[in-house]
Structure 1
Amino acid sequence: MNTYVALLRAVNLGGRGRLPMARLRDILTGLGAGEVRTYLQSGNAVFTSTTDDAAEVAEAVRAALRGEGLDTEVMIRTGEQLAALATVGHPFAADDPDPTHLQVAFPLTPVAGETVAAMPIPARERAQRVDGEIALHYPDGVGRSKLTTAHLQRHLGTPVTCRNWRTVTALAEWCR
């Protein structure tokens, strides 16, 4: 049995991409997933599956969501990947322990470290590739930043979804 984490992009934000988490649990269960749990209202789920291919799981979830009228990207990570990321820790946490200032961007397709390093970053903010994801530091808060998801996607060349460090560690704990 494999543990997966589904991170849905742009769900329940600003009145668009509405998807109740009870419905997401039903969708995943309907796809054969077990032990389905959702976290918050922003499209985070941890579940088990007999399927060994994360890309296959992602496409099945995305197709099921399309059937619900919701066309959004689905970033799937294994439980081991998320647990390893949490174990490594956020590279900027020593400088700023506030988990709301620490985010992780999960790209749909892998991004090279050189691409992340070449990305224009607003003053005081930082980005670093960690285990295939992008650790972000927003010392003045995410809401005040110009380093938005759209900015990240444009410069990284792939869709991304972001989660704050508290969400990442909570999901990782469910994977252990």
Structure 2
Amino acid sequence: MPTYVALLRAVNLGPHARVSMARLRELITAQGWGHARTHLASGNAVFTSELTEPAPVARRLRDALAANGLDTEVMVRTGHHFVQLAEAGHPLAVPGAAHTTLQVAFPLTPVTTDQVQAMPIPGEESAVAGAGEVFLHYPHGVGRSKLTTAHLQRHLGTPVTCRNWKTVTTLAGWC
């Protein structure tokens, strides 16, 4: 069975859009999918499914979450895709860069190099497209950057969720 990685958008950031990782695993298992594992409390899950494409997996998981009171986007990628991302390495990594300064934005729909190049990049941050995702570098950290998820969504025209490089490589290691 194929392995999938699900990334929930904007969960557990405050008092709204809350889901425990135990509940997320239960919802995944209720779909008939197996080997559900979650990482951190930010909506990261790895599991297997009999479905052969990510889109129907994302729809079913989003519907299950909505039926349980959580309306959020769910970005799903194949385990193979995650492994390829990790093996290729982060294209903006510089020697000594902390994993927290390196992020990957996972758009709901793939983005092109042209879309990313047309996007204004504030401050000293960097962004490049690759494999349908956006690789980001925040040399001074994410906290005060103006290259926010909202900025990315506005200029790319699709919902996105971001994960730091350590999370990406951890999830890839589970695939």
Structure-2-length-normalised TM-score: 0.98
Where do 1:52-63 residues align within 5 Å? 52-63=52-63
Deviations 1:2-27 (A, max 9, x none): 00000000010122210000000000
SS of 2:97 mapped into structure 1: coil
Where do 1:41-52 residues align within 5 Å? 41-52=41-52
- Could you list the runs of 4 or more consecutive aligned residues of structure 1 that deviate by over 3 angstroms after TM superposition? none
CA distance 1:138–1:96, shift in 2 (3 Å): farther
The offset of 1:96, in angstroms, is 4.9
State the partner residue of 1:157: 157
State the partner residue of 1:92: 92
State the partner residue of 2:32: 32
Where do 1:8-157 residues align within 5 Å? 8-157=8-157
RMSD: 0.8
Contact 1:96 1:139 in 2 (8 A): no
Contact 1:12 1:42 in 2 (8 A): yes
Structure 2 spans left out of the alignment, 5+ residues: none
Structure-1-length-normalised TM-score: 0.97
Structure 1 spans left out of the alignment, 5+ residues: none
Separation in 2 of the partners of 1:78 and 1:147?
27
Give the aligned residue type for 2:77: R
Contact 2:86 2:172 in 1 (8 A): yes
State the partner residue of 1:168: 168
